[in-house]
Amino acid sequence: MKIFYRILMLFFNYIPFFLLCSVLAAIWKFHNNMPLMFGVIAVIIYVIPPLITRIALLICPLNKTEYELFSKEYYIWWLTFCAQIIYLRLQFLEEVLRIIPGLYSMWLRIFWGAKIGRFTYWAPGTRILERNFLNIGNNVIFAADTRINAHVQTEDKLLIAPITIESNVVVGAYSLLTCGTVIKSNQATKSFLISPPFSTWKDGVRIKNAD
């Protein structure tokens, strides 16, 4: 049984490759009908990955913050993570959506189920590992090359929790926000901020074990 799950995990690694093969197949099949071709490609790239993720989490919700490595929940998380890898390998896929103000946030809300407030600005290079674990308030600015990781893997545990950014926050450039990070409202964090798991930040200071 353990070998089966390892093979399954390897299979999940091919999801980005399968998506790209599907795009190439759509180009070959519908190249004489450009609107249909682009429509099919858009569905493959922007609808199928969040659909895979939401179905997986509907079957097995990840409601806790800590899981054993290679448990059933771990493989479910790995499936959802692999479904999103294509956006990390090919970052222009998300940058294209960010060209139109509000479109990227709308995509995160509708397709991924993320909680994104009004007037969120995603600077170029912002990277998100788990789009379904976001809780963002209003008037939030993510400066250049911010990295948002809702999971951290230790030697024997998978830690996973939403990233919460309250309203009227500027996240400094080149910051790393890890699982369970909370940034309180009405502040600007420093650049190159590294937020350890389950950290709460207020007035530029890390508050441990805060509510």
Query: How many CB atoms are located within 10 Å of the residue 24 CB?
Result: 10
Cβ neighbors of 180 (< 8 A, separation 6 or more) are: 65, 159, 161, 162, 163, 197, 198, 199
Per-residue pLDDT of 73-110, as tens digits, reads: 999 999 999 999 999 999 999 999 999 999 999 999 99
- Model's pTM, two decimal places? 0.91
Tokens of 32: 């004489």
- Write out pLDDT tens, residues 55-78: 999 999 999 999 999 899 999 999
User: What is 101-211's CATH number, 1.20.1050.10, 3.40.50.720, 2.160.10.10, 1.10.40.30?
Assistant: 2.160.10.10
pLDDT of res. 90: 97
Average pLDDT over residues 163-177: 97
Which pLDDT value is given to residue 204? 83
Six-digit token string for 27: 């180009």
Residue 211 pLDDT exceeds 60: no
Q: What is the mean pLDDT of residues 11-15?
A: 96
Classify strands 151-153 and 157-160 as parallel, antiparallel or unpaired. antiparallel
Angle at 11 between CA 92 and CA 147, to 5 degrees: 35
Mean of all residue pLDDT scores within the chain: 94
Q: What is the mean pLDDT of residues 165-190?
A: 96
Write down the pLDDT at residue 47.
98
Domain limits, the chain:
1-90, 101-211
Q: pLDDT for 147-166, tens place per residue?
A: 999 999 998 899 999 999 99
